[in-house]
Structure 1
Amino acid sequence: MDRITLGNEEFEGRNNAYVLADDETDELALVDTGVATDDIRTDLRDGLAERGYEFADVDDIVLTHFHVDHAGLAGEIQREGGATVYVHEADAPLIEQDEAAVAALEDRREELLEEWGLPEEPRDELRSFLEGAAHIEGPPAKPTPIEDGTVLEVGGRTLETVHAPGHAAGLCCFEIEEGASTDGTASEAFVGDTVLPVYTPNVGGADVRVDRPLEKYAETLRSFIDREYDRVWPGHRDPIEDPSERAGTILEHHRERTGNVLDVLEEHGPADAWTVSAHLFGDLEGIHIVHGPGEAYAHLDHLRHEGVLEYDDGEYRLLERPTDLEALV
């Protein structure tokens, strides 16, 4: 797979932009674009130039989700050559930077910061970080919304959309039809941040729009495992050669974290998400000020829905510790 490796100091490191080119039809597509910073813009322009292309030559952009480290340059590329930008319908308003959608996201974040019990100082630090990072978002794009099952013909490839919510409401994998196994199932896919080779994708804080984020992500991982891909191409770092095993490892990580959350409540008594986060992750800065308590919240909220915890006056209280975490997550 032809990929351009992009630097990324803002988030989880080394983004990938995948280049799909059809020499016969001269069609060119990108899967994800990286953040809209000068360094990354140069990385992407230089990578395309090495292949004989420029931004204006891009016909299609397929976005795995709305996060700026995957979509930041989409609007700029579209402006230069009129590329069609595909993204799941749940994320399309944010790619378009629709004022109502952006305001709803920000309002929801503020509601949750209050609910999670964040003191004013880290809230202010987070707001300052987000305001300071606004420039990496890039100009808006005019997206073409897609949904689960949408088939795209781009860059000489056939990609089938597989909705994979959890880390983000509109996160999608794109199965590569040309890599189909003998039984007709896709053997390879672009997966964005559904699974990553090093980090465990954040749930709860990465997209505050997602209701019951841990439940949704666990369902996504189980479905991903069942698809039995031979290889997948993530949004960060190197390809994953054992995708189902990696997804299973991430699922087990969340079971262990569930146990860690229960340990905190058992040892320290009722607590809000910020307090649980402090026990799990210690001091936080930058984007992790929302990712940390968001992750704690995802687990606390899931345990509440499963009847393990009681939520009252901003705090979660352990009712009875379960013995089978696998049955919960």
Structure 2
Amino acid sequence: MSRASRRRPYSEQRPQDLGGGVWSVPVPIPGNPLGYTLVYAVESPQGPVLVDAGWNHPDAWEALSGGLAALGFDVGAVKGVVVTHFHPDHAGLAGQVRERSGAWVAMHEADAALVRLMHDHPADDQRSFQAEMLRRAGADPGEVRQAVSRPAPPARPDRELRDGDLVDLPGRKLRAVHTPGHTPGHICLHLEDADRLFTGDHVLPDITPHIGIYPYDRDDVDPLGDFLDSLDRVGELGSLDALPAHEWIFPDVAARAAEIRHHHEEKLVRLRALLARRPHPQTIWEVAAMMTWNRPWADLSPMLRGMAAGEAAAHLRALEARGEVRRVPGVDLVRFQALDS
């Protein structure tokens, strides 16, 4: 069966017993084309531990609590929530689960630091930061005004994880595998006693996660390089069954990780070729407009253009780190050009 034919709308999703003391609950993401987050419950003598929690919305809460009830669990009995990364479709309901059950909330220390930063800085400061980032990338003032957004930050975690840490899950071995790229603190979770890997957004069966760099013109990080290295690391775990946060469960995570790496390597080759054909250095916004997305650049909303620019910036930074492009500092804007082969 082809990948596309396996995609089903949220209305057709149901909570499932996956065997081996693992269950899945689809939780809707209102107004988002992803449709839903797959929240997983892992059995524990002290109550289930959730992998992710879903979007903070009344419909999502009803789906999560009702889905757990349909599987025989009371949300008030949840022992803990391990968040694969801080994005709102994964961490959004973690605070509400904690309020209802007293559960702990855990995430990687790098994402925990970002959550603290979001809580400690007023929304107006974050919007100003975004606007300046967009302006420096080359967006026009109208796009800047429409692209700026600031979702509510998720709950602060109680516990912070590092690579290799075992999650507090008596009777099971659930180990954190640091897989940065989609976020600095993204983790997969290896259920070692069952040869399963909860992949979050790192490895999905059909789509690839957003890999961006923020602010766009940073030169001290390489998210795409980190992501590609993380794909290799996941591949080294072998042909485990993958339990992703979106789409569907699939076998052989190593094979899919290799496919995603190949996709990005091809994208890097195409991007360098595009830059090589331009006689003058290009802004990040101009580069994003040249690249291929799932719809034409002209049809992308300002918010989606902002995300595309973040991804273009990550690819430019990866090429820069490999010595294939260089940035050309300007008085106000940063531009990039290809280096001679």
Please indicate, yes or no, whether the TM-score normalized by the shorter chain is above 0.5. Answer: yes
Tell me: higher relative CO, structure 1 or 2? Use CA pairs within 8 A at least 6 residues apart: 1
CA deviation after TM superposition for structure 1 residue 94, in Å? 4.1
Change (3 A) 1:40 1:59: same
CA deviation after TM superposition for structure 1 residue 7, in Å? 2.1
Determine if the alignment matches structure 1 residue 98 to structure 2 residue 119: yes
Change (3 A) 1:12 1:263: farther
Q: Name the CA distance, whole Å, in 2 between partners of 1:310 and 1:257.
A: 18
Assess if the C-alpha contact under 8 Å between 1:61 and 1:74 holds in 2: yes
Letter of the structure 2 residue corresponding to residue 14 of structure 1: Y
CA deviation after TM superposition for structure 1 residue 316, in Å? 0.8
Which residue number in structure 1 is paired with residue 104 of structure 2? 84
CA deviation after TM superposition for structure 1 residue 44, in Å? 0.6
CA deviation after TM superposition for structure 1 residue 287, in Å? 4.3
Match of 1:19 among 41, 45, 51: 41
Assess if the C-alpha contact under 8 Å between 1:56 and 1:80 holds in 2: yes
CA deviation after TM superposition for structure 1 residue 116, in Å? 2.1
Unaligned 5+ runs, structure 2 = 1-17
Which residue number in structure 1 is paired with residue 307 of structure 2? 291
Q: Name the CA distance, whole Å, in 2 between partners of 1:17 and 1:207.
A: 30
Q: Name the CA distance, whole Å, in 2 between partners of 1:123 and 1:303.
A: 26
Letter of the structure 2 residue corresponding to residue 279 of structure 1: M
The aligned length equals 306
CA deviation after TM superposition for structure 1 residue 214, in Å? 1.1
Assess if the C-alpha contact under 8 Å between 2:190 and 2:197 holds in 1: yes
Q: What is the TM-score normalised by the length of structure 2? A: 0.82
Change (3 A) 1:82 1:61: same
Letter of the structure 1 residue corresponding to residue 283 of structure 2: D
Change (3 A) 1:37 1:205: farther
Which residue number in structure 1 is paired with residue 282 of structure 2? 271
Q: Name the CA distance, whole Å, in 2 between partners of 1:77 and 1:170.
A: 21
Q: Deviations over 1:98-134 (max 9, x none)?
A: 314989976764554233222222221121xx24x54
Q: Name the CA distance, whole Å, in 2 between partners of 1:217 and 1:228.
A: 18
Change (3 A) 1:151 1:104: farther
* Within-5 A mapping of 1:207-218: 211-218=221-228
Which residue number in structure 1 is paired with residue 324 of structure 2? 308
Unaligned 5+ runs, structure 1 = 180-186, 322-329
Assess if the C-alpha contact under 8 Å between 1:12 and 1:199 holds in 2: no
* Within-5 A mapping of 1:62-73: 62-73=82-93
CA deviation after TM superposition for structure 1 residue 66, in Å? 0.3
Q: What RMSD over aligned residues (CA atoms) do the two structures have, in Å?
A: 2.5
Letter of the structure 2 residue corresponding to residue 196 of structure 1: L
Which residue number in structure 1 is paired with residue 247 of structure 2? 237
Letter of the structure 1 residue corresponding to residue 38 of structure 2: N
Match of 1:32 among 52, 57, 64: 52
Assess if the C-alpha contact under 8 Å between 2:110 and 2:185 holds in 1: yes
CA deviation after TM superposition for structure 1 residue 159, in Å? 0.7
Q: What is the TM-score normalised by the length of structure 1? A: 0.84
CA deviation after TM superposition for structure 1 residue 51, in Å? 2.1
**SS of alignment partner, residue 240 of structure 1:** coil
Determine if the alignment matches structure 1 residue 163 to structure 2 residue 189: no
**SS of alignment partner, residue 66 of structure 1:** coil
Change (3 A) 1:202 1:89: same
Assess if the C-alpha contact under 8 Å between 2:241 and 2:252 holds in 1: yes
**SS of alignment partner, residue 226 of structure 2:** helix
Q: Name the CA distance, whole Å, in 2 between partners of 1:42 and 1:105.
A: 31
**Larger mean Cα displacement after TM superposition, 90-99 or 202-211:** 202-211
* Within-5 A mapping of 1:211-230: 211-230=221-240
Letter of the structure 1 residue corresponding to residue 183 of structure 2: A
Assess if the C-alpha contact under 8 Å between 1:206 and 1:291 holds in 2: no
**SS of alignment partner, residue 12 of structure 1:** coil
